């Protein structure tokens, strides 16, 4: 899939971008991997970390269509990971969130079509399902326009798909690094005693992107099956003797994550390790879906962190923390 291909990752200096870059360079033989982002210091640090002659860095912002078109010249595969994603910041500065997450997505689509990119995968979020905050609403719009982009390609071969998952365990802004820093403290902050979250690893997120690149025909949203855990249980696992301090839910924050809503269930199919949410405009024939191993989830289905059938144990969590976080 990546052999002798040129891959570009927008927002490529982030957690996903760095992890996926390492995976591509270690597992495959791409022609080039291009990191497109607006932070020159993060690019400088990433360049020093990898020291690979197949790695290229282009400074730019997804808000700048001309710069995107310049960067996408000759690119085969595009992974769109750039976004404004911190929920309280998006609530406070919604105009800026719209410019990056919606207008930026439109620029990415236009540039990808103009430059005849073969495959485009956009990273989404649980917050795009039944959104209650600005970030989630902008990512829902982004998802919709990436799926609709398949209508604009005409006879061109560009394929657009989306992958949707929650906060990656240990990523910047996630709760695990914060809790790990407080593992010897006297108290642990918890927003709500009932709050639950999906627990997805970076490897699982990257696997889902590879699945989308391999199997997408255009118009699908891929959702990985992952376990859930109560945030209260996460805090107690990392620091069992600490006093739990309830600090309240942040503006725009959900008590439970949702990856598939009841309204999306009609077009959702179970493929074993993951779900596919199809667009009604690009829905394959039922026989085709069945031949590929897909089974309808039923109209009364939803996929939320509180109603999940799979729950991560304390032992599994601590094993991951010990392997992945530096104390």
Answer for the pair 14, 81: CB distance below 8 angstroms, yes or no. Answer: yes
* Distance linking the first and last C-alpha atoms of the chain: 37
Return the domain boundaries, the chain: 6-167+201-226+258-303
Q: How far is CA 224 from CA 2, 93, 194, 237, 251, in A?
A: 22, 30, 23, 25, 27
pLDDT value of residue 267 = 96
Q: Which residue in 65, 127, 225, 276 is the catalytic one?
A: 127
| Residue 281 backbone dihedrals phi, psi, to 5 degrees | -85, -20
pLDDT value of residue 143 = 98
pLDDT value of residue 43 = 97
Q: How far apart (Å, rounded) are the C-alpha atoms in residues 218 and 236?
A: 43
- Angle among Cα 258, 303, 283 to the nearest 5 degrees reads 105
pLDDT value of residue 253 = 87
Query: What CATH fold (topology level) applies to the domain 6-167+201-226+258-303?
Result: Rossmann fold (3.40.50)
The total number of residues written for the chain in this structure: 327
pLDDT value of residue 327 = 53
pLDDT value of residue 97 = 97
Give which of 103, 8, 123, 35 is closest to 63, Cα–Cα: 103
Write out the two tokens for 185.
């403290």
Q: Please report which helix (H) or strand (E) contains residue 320, including its range.
A: helix 314-324
pLDDT value of residue 138 = 98
32 is catalytic: no
- Angle among Cα 280, 283, 285 to the nearest 5 degrees reads 140
> 280-303 b/e with 16+ CB inside 10 Å = b?
eebebeeeebeeeebeebeeebbb
| Residue 196 backbone dihedrals phi, psi, to 5 degrees | -125, 155
pLDDT value of residue 90 = 94
Sequential DSSP letters for 164-205: EE-PBTT-TT-HHHHHHHTTTSSEEEES-TT-EEE-B-HHHH
Predicted model pTM: 0.95
Write out the two tokens for 14.
């982030």
Q: How far apart (Å, rounded) are the C-alpha atoms in residues 294 and 274?
A: 10
Within a 10 A sphere around the Cβ of 102, how many other Cβ atoms? 18
Write out the two tokens for 49.
């970390």
pLDDT value of residue 309 = 94
pLDDT value of residue 166 = 86
Q: How far apart (Å, rounded) are the C-alpha atoms in residues 1 and 4?
A: 9
Query: pLDDT tens digits, the chain, 327 residues: what are they?
Result: 899 999 999 999 999 999 999 999 999 999 999 999 999 999 999 999 999 999 999 999 999 999 999 999 999 999 999 999 989 899 999 999 999 999 999 999 999 999 999 999 999 999 999 999 999 999 999 999 999 999 988 878 899 999 999 889 988 778 898 898 899 899 999 999 999 999 999 999 999 999 999 999 999 999 999 999 999 999 999 999 999 999 998 888 899 999 999 999 999 999 999 999 999 999 999 999 999 999 999 989 999 999 999 999 999 999 998 888 865
């Amino acid at each position: 899939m990546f052999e002798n291909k040129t891959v570009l990752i927008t927002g490529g200096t982030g957690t996903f971008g760095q992890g996926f870059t390492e995976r591509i360079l270690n597992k495959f033989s791409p022609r080039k991997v291009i990191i497109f982002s607006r932070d020159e210091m993060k690019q400088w640090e990433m360049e020093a970390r990898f020291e690979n002659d197949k790695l290229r860095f282009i400074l730019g912002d997804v808000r700048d269509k001309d710069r995107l078109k310049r960067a996408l010249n000759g690119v085969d595969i595009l992974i769109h990971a750039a976004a404004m994603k911190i929920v309280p910041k998006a609530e406070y500065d919604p105009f800026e969130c719209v410019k990056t997450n919606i207008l930026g997505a439109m620029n990415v689509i236009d540039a990808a079509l103009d430059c005849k990119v073969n495959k485009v995968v956009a990273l989404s979020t649980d917050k795009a399902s039944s959104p209650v905050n600005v970030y989630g609403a902008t990512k829902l719009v982004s998802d919709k326009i990436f799926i609709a982009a398949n209508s604009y390609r005409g006879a061109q071969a560009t394929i657009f798909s989306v992958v949707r998952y929650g906060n990656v365990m240990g990523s910047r802004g996630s709760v695990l690094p914060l809790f790990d820093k407080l593992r010897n403290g006297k108290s642990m902050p918890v927003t709500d005693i009932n709050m639950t979250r999906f627990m997805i690893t970076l490897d699982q997120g990257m696997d889902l992107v590879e699945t989308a690149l391999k199997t997408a025909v255009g118009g699908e949203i891929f959702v990985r099956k992952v376990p859930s855990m109560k945030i209260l249980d996460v805090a107690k696992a990392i620091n069992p003797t600490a006093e739990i301090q309830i600090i309240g839910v942040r503006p725009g924050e959900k008590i439970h994550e949702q990856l598939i809503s009841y309204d999306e269930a009609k077009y959702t199919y179970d493929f074993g390790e993951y779900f596919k949410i199809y667009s009604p405009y690009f829905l394959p024939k039922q026989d085709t879906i069945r031949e590929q191993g897909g089974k309808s989830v039923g109209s009364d289905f939803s996929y939320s962190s509180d109603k999940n059938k799979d729950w991560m144990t304390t032992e599994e969590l601590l094993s991951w923390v010990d392997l992945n976080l530096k104390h």
